[in-house]
Amino acid sequence: MDKDFLIANLRNIPDFPKPGIQFKDVSTLYKNAACLKEMIAELVKIYRDKGITKVVGIESRGFVLGAMLASELNAGFVMCRKPGKLPGETRQASYEKEYGVDTIEIHTDAIEEGDIVLIHDDLLATGGSMKAALELVNSFHPKQVFVNFLIELRMEGLKGREALGENTDLTTLLTLHE
């Protein structure tokens, strides 16, 4: 995987959504077909022999590659969404993020005990949304859970990896230090 190529195509938007936040905009990676192919190929390489039966994508950027990856792995795709967006019965968890509090939920019939689950999202910063997603997924007692991000931010004050715990099987495609 050409990490320099991917990083060169990643857009940084200063002071979004509030002053002091350096927002990493992955939409520039998604709109570039070569970047998209590179990321999917690498993710398939990492997870193809893990027996993944469900891929959970976290709203909304986790849906893009999560659904593509599920298709490539011959797995089902599960959406982890903000409240009120899923039509059936749900479980929910709340979390703090750098700039507020949010809640995510998942359908109560989304995952079974025998499933091997990969939870995917675009960016690891504080780890709040993924920690909530892990809590939701683990409440189904799946056989195994993997966690993946496109980007991990390693900066002062951001301890996302630590928030998820040392026993979390976590991979990232890119690690950014600033």
Give percent above pLDDT 70 in the chain.
Answer: 98
- pLDDT over 80 (residue 63): yes
Domain ranges in the chain are 50-177
Q: At CA 22, angle to CA 20 and CA 23, rounded to 5?
A: 130
| pLDDT confidence of residue 177 | 87
- pLDDT over 80 (residue 98): no
| pLDDT confidence of residue 96 | 81
- pLDDT over 80 (residue 116): yes
Question: How buried is 87 (Cβ within 10 angstroms: 0-12 exposed, 13-18 middle, 19+ buried)?
Answer: exposed
- Mean pLDDT, residues 106-125: 97
Q: Read off φ and ψ for residue 35, nearest 5 degrees.
A: -65, -45
Give percent above pLDDT 90 in the chain.
Answer: 85
**According to DSSP H, which parts of 48-84 are helical?**
61-72
Least confident range of 60-64, 70-74, 155-159, 169-173: 155-159
Of the pLDDT bands very low, low, confident and very high (cuts 50, 70, 90), residue 99 is low
Report the catalytic residues.
Answer: 61, 98
Mean pLDDT over each residue of the chain, to the nearest integer = 94
Q: Note the pLDDT tens digit of each residue in 148-164.
A: 999 999 877 788 899 99
CATH 3.40.190.10 fits 50-177, yes or no: no
- pLDDT over 90 (residue 178): no
Least confident range of 69-78, 121-130, 134-143: 121-130
**Contact at 8 Å (CB) between 176 and 158?**
no
Kindly report the pTM of this predicted structure. Answer: 0.94
Looking at this protein, which amino acid is placed at residue 148? N
Q: Note the pLDDT tens digit of each residue in 135-148.
A: 999 999 999 999 99
Question: How buried is 127 (Cβ within 10 angstroms: 0-12 exposed, 13-18 middle, 19+ buried)?
Answer: buried
